[in-house]
Amino acid sequence: STTDSPVAVETLDDVPEHVLRGLPEDVRLFPSAVDKTRLGVWATKSILKGKKFGPFVGDKKKRSQV
């Protein structure tokens, strides 16, 4: 018989404080609809097309790093 190793689940404790502080109004982090082990970005109400957010803080990452 095989034993599945536990899968690490991302939580709000894993998110840097500056990211949580920088979230736009009406945007929250909840479990992803795509990957239940990760957090996803969810809007709590409709966001109009063209809405601008920022300024963003943190480190810029290449796509291959995320």
Q: Give per-residue pLDDT as tens, 37-58.
A: 999 999 999 999 998 887 776 7
> Whole-prediction pTM value?
0.64
Separation CA 29–CA 39 (nearest Å): 6
Q: How confident is the model at residue 60 (pLDDT cuts 50, 70, 90)?
A: confident
Rounded to the nearest 5 degrees, what angle is found at the Cα of 52, between the Cα atoms of 11 and 23?
20
* Residue labelled with tokens 């995320």: 66
Q: How confident is the model at residue 2 (pLDDT cuts 50, 70, 90)?
A: low
Q: Torsion angle, CA of 43/48/49/54, rounded to 10 degrees?
A: -70
